[in-house]
C-alpha cells in the first residue's frame, strides 16, 4: 500500500521538528560535513542500516567529507510520514 502524501501544513510542521533539513520540491534534504572521507563513509553505512530496517531508502551523494541526503517517497510522488520518520532516525546518529 502506497503511503499517503502529506499536506503542505503537515510538511511544514514536520520540518520544524528536524534540525538542518530543508525542502526542495518533493524532497527534504540535509547536508552533513564530516571529519574526512572515512567518517563520511561510516556515517553513510549507518544511514544504510537504518534505511534498510525501515525499508525506506534515501538518495545519497558523497563528496569526500560531505554527505547530501535526500528523502522522498518516490512511489507516492512526494513527501510522506516515512520521510520524516527516517530523517528523525538519521538525526539521532
What is the value of pTM for the model shown? 0.95
Q: What is the pLDDT of residue 2?
A: 83
Asked if the structure places residue 3 within a domain, the reply is no
Instruction: Please give the chain's pLDDT, 93 residues, in tens.
Output: 789 999 999 999 999 999 999 999 999 999 999 999 999 999 999 999 999 999 999 999 999 999 999 999 999 999 999 999 999 999 999
**Total domains in the fold of the chain:** 1
Position 46 in a domain = yes
**1 belongs to a structural domain:** no
| 57/72 Cα distance (integer angstroms) | 9
Which CATH number belongs to the domain containing residue 83 in this structure? 3.30.1360.20
Structural domain that includes position 61 = 8-15+23-91
For 42, phi and psi rounded to 5 degrees?
A: -60, -45
Is 33 among the domain residues? yes
Q: Is 13 helix (H, G, I), strand (E, B) or coil?
A: helix
Amino acid at each position: 500500500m502506497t503511503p499517503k502524501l502529506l499536506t503542505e501544513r503537515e510538511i511544514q510542521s514536520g520540518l520544524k521538528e528536524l534540525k538542518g533539513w530543508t525542502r526542495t520540491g518533493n524532497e527534504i534534504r540535509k547536508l552533513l560535513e564530516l571529519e574526512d572521507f572515512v567518517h563520511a563513509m561510516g556515517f553513510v553505512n549507518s544511514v544504510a542500516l537504518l534505511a534498510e530496517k525501515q525499508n525506506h531508502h534515501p538518495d545519497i551523494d558523497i563528496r569526500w567529507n560531505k554527505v547530501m541526503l535526500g528523502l522522498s517517497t518516490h512511489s507516492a510522488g512526494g513527501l510522506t510520514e516515512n520521510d520524516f520518520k527516517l530523517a528523525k532516525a538519521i538525526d539521532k546518529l
